[in-house]
Structure 1
Amino acid sequence: MTNHPAEKIAVRDLKVDGPFWGALKRDLLLSYRRKSDLINPLIFFLMVATLFPLGVSPDSVFLAEVAPGVVWVAALLATLLSMDSLFRSDFEDGTLEQLLLSPQPLFMVVLAKVLAHWMLTGLPLTLMAPLLGVMLFLPADGMSGLVLSLLLGTPTLSLVGAIGAALTVGLRKGGVLISLLVLPLYIPVLIFGTASIQAALTGLPVGGYMAILGAMLALGLIMAPLAISAALRISVSG
């Protein structure tokens, strides 16, 4: 598949704007042109939360109990849905090889691409989460915990998912393999994200859960770009 010439990255653009800001601006611009990539995760997120009461039970008490888990699982799956395309277009048009061969630090470019993915997927999901919480009868006491846990947890999901996307970028159908690779790594984020909301609902302090989610995010910001860079070099060279 041949992309529009305007979609191809030029290494000189990274030199002008810097590797981080140049890659971030480019990915945001390309995603704006491909509006389906922006809308699909949000529609999936909304569909999961909407269909769950129809398939299980519309009882408000039951839905209030399971709302934290439903919202978090829906956010996790919606993030995973968009991971396969993170490096795919760059790999197909040769941009990824240019990035690997350029003198620009791959660490910063990778971090910018993950940030762009979170801004276009994780952040909108976080902003939409209170609406889904209301639909699932989540009490008002849990709304702050819901938003804060997603703000800290969804960037970690993007960082971990990008490792799987980098490892499978050279495969034709890597979506299922990405799921198998990263879902086990998503479990701790899911556990502490839902636990923080449950703690907020019961009046318990949520600072410990948020600290753990923040520690996971800090570790991901340091380690994940290194792992992603190494995975991209392995996938392209292989």
Structure 2
Amino acid sequence: MTGPLKALFLRDLRLAARIGGGAMVGVVFFLSVVTIVPFGVGPDMNLLARIGPAILWIGALLASLLGLDRLFQADADDGSLDLMMMAGTPLALTVLVKTAAHWLATGLPLVIAAPVLGLLMNVPAEAMAAVALTLVAGTPALTGLGTIGAALSVGLRRGGLLMAVLVLPLCIPVLVFGVAATQAAIAGPAPFGPPFAILAALSLASLVLGPVAAAAALKFGLE
């Protein structure tokens, strides 16, 4: 990583920690979603064990979108985005660095919190590692896809709402294969490998195509 990109990466991490919009808000929201479900479905532990993986993934999906609407908006407001576009570094690479910083500030804490929150959903202890592994493989895809919506909503009123409308349909395959891999690890009988491999492939594709699409959207929207 070159000097300017490293400085941008560290800057975004510091901003996420300073405004409290990274790890803490996402984990608190994740906790809220997971703890509300048992009150809604009742104290049926078998039912909670069956729906636990889906609830964990839905909570992670929604929590990962928090703060994405500000990923480029803050830079657009203070003029930093114009400087990034005029710099010699390819804009797609700059977007990739910002995406990595956002995932480290918001996605990684969700991965760490998921095994603990899984206890509330009666997820077997021996399956906690598989739950965390699927989130490690899948949450980068959620962030990569979210950057596209964040780029499209720069400069728009209620951009956060528009971003959610654009991004949520794109995240459905990630949710499907993430839940499938987790269910396979917990209950079977389907093998864990195929859905996990597809989940990892979706993340790789999103991290490659997402920054390119987001860079194109930024150039089109700010010209």
Pairwise TM-score range, normalised by the shorter structure: over 0.9
1:202, CA displacement in angstroms?
2.2
Contact 2:22 2:106 in 1 (8 A): no
| Residues 15-26 of structure 1 mapped to structure 2, 5 A cutoff | 17-26=2-11
- Whole-Å Cα distance in 2 between the matches of residues 37 and 121 of structure 1? 5
1:25, CA displacement in angstroms?
1.0
Which of 87, 95, 102 pairs up with 1:102?
87
Tell me the amino acid that sits aligned with residue 216 of structure 1.
L
- Whole-Å Cα distance in 2 between the matches of residues 109 and 22 of structure 1? 11
Which of 101, 111, 127 pairs up with 2:112?
127
Which of 201, 214, 237 pairs up with 2:186?
201
1:109, CA displacement in angstroms?
1.2
1:205, CA displacement in angstroms?
2.4
Tell me the amino acid that sits aligned with residue 196 of structure 1.
A
1:209, CA displacement in angstroms?
1.2
- Whole-Å Cα distance in 2 between the matches of residues 142 and 191 of structure 1? 18
- Whole-Å Cα distance in 2 between the matches of residues 87 and 228 of structure 1? 10
1:39, CA displacement in angstroms?
1.7
Q: Larger deviation: 145-154 or 216-225?
A: 216-225
Partner of 1:86 in structure 2?
A: 71
- Whole-Å Cα distance in 2 between the matches of residues 72 and 19 of structure 1? 35
Tell me the amino acid that sits aligned with residue 186 of structure 2.
L
1:36, CA displacement in angstroms?
4.0
Partner of 1:71 in structure 2?
A: 56
Deviations 1:160-216 (A, max 9, x none): 001000000111211111111111110000000000011112244211111101111
Which of 1, 9, 13 pairs up with 1:28?
13
Which of 47, 50, 61 pairs up with 2:35?
50
- Whole-Å Cα distance in 1 between the matches of residues 5 and 93 of structure 2? 5
Structure 2 unaligned segments of length 5 or more: list them: none
Please state whether the residue corresponding to 1:124 is helix, strand or coil: helix
Q: Give the CA RMSD over aligned residues.
A: 1.4
Contact 2:139 2:203 in 1 (8 A): no
1:141, CA displacement in angstroms?
3.7
Please state whether the residue corresponding to 1:84 is helix, strand or coil: helix
The yes-or-no answer on 1:224 pairing with 2:215 is no
Tell me the amino acid that sits aligned with residue 119 of structure 2.
V
Contact 2:23 2:109 in 1 (8 A): no
- Whole-Å Cα distance in 2 between the matches of residues 108 and 150 of structure 1? 24
Contact 2:64 2:107 in 1 (8 A): yes
Q: What TM-score does the superposition give when structure 1 sets the normalisation length? A: 0.89
Structure 1 unaligned segments of length 5 or more: list them: 1-13
- Whole-Å Cα distance in 1 between the matches of residues 36 and 203 of structure 2? 31
Deviations 1:76-123 (A, max 9, x none): 001112211111110100100111112222122111100011001110
Contact 1:145 1:206 in 2 (8 A): no
Tell me the amino acid that sits aligned with residue 33 of structure 1.
R
Q: What TM-score does the superposition give when structure 2 sets the normalisation length? A: 0.95
Tell me the amino acid that sits aligned with residue 185 of structure 1.
L
- Whole-Å Cα distance in 1 between the matches of residues 177 and 154 of structure 2? 30
Please state whether the residue corresponding to 2:10 is helix, strand or coil: helix
1:43, CA displacement in angstroms?
0.8
Deviations 1:101-155 (A, max 9, x none): 1222212211110001100111000100001111110112422221111001000
